[in-house]
């Protein structure tokens, strides 16, 4: 099985690039695992955003999160990436991911992927 393509939605790529270098490196390693069909080392489901949405948890002294969906055959879609300043995920971050997922699903229905 070949690696799935990785598509960045919205500002997610820019947001990951803004992570400190150790968090960026960890995110890249986790993305490769997901592209190969493996689970990230530290993740949890985020059903409040949508079915099959997962959160990669990156802990490097700071907390960083990357929300993605990998259930589609053609690609892994990165919905949102952010630094988590408190234990609870901000509503705004969940809303951003939810909106990007909605847009992706509408585009897929119209067969306009990625």
Specify whether the CB–CB gap between 82 and 17 falls below 8 A: no
Instruction: State the average pLDDT for the chain.
Output: 94
For residue 114, tell me if it sits in a domain. no
Is residue 63 in some structural domain? yes
Task: Please report whether residue 74 resides in a domain.
Answer: yes
Percentage of the chain surpassing pLDDT 70? 96
Is 35 a member of any domain?
yes
Residue 91 included in any domain: yes
Number of domains in the chain: 1
Q: Under a CB-based contact definition with an 8 Å cutoff, are residues 58 and 65 in contact?
A: yes
Give the domain extent around 38: 5-109
CATH number of residue 23's parent domain: 3.30.2310.20
Over the stretch 71-95, which tens digit does the pLDDT of each residue have?
A: 999 999 999 999 998 889 999 999 9
Decide if 81 contacts 16 (C-beta within 8 A). Answer: yes
Q: Strand, coil or helix: what is 88?
A: coil
Token readout for 86 is 């408190």
Structure confidence by residue, pLDDT tens digits, 53-63: 999 999 998 99
Query: Full-prediction pTM beyond 0.85?
Result: yes
**More confident site: 110 or 6:** 6
């Amino acid at each position: 099985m070949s690696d799935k393509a990785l598509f960045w939605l919205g500002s997610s790529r820019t947001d990951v690039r803004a992570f400190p270098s150790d968090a960026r490196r960890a995110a890249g390693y986790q993305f490769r695992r997901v592209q190969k069909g493996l689970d990230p080392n530290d993740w949890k489901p985020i059903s409040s955003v949508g079915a099959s949405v997962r959160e990669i948890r990156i802990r490097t002294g700071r907390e960083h999160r990357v929300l993605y969906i990998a259930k589609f055959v053609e690609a892994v879609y990165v919905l949102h990436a952010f630094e988590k300043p408190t234990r609870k995920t901000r509503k705004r971050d969940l809303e951003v991911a939810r909106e990007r997922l909605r847009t992706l699903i509408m585009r897929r229905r119209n067969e306009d992927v990625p």
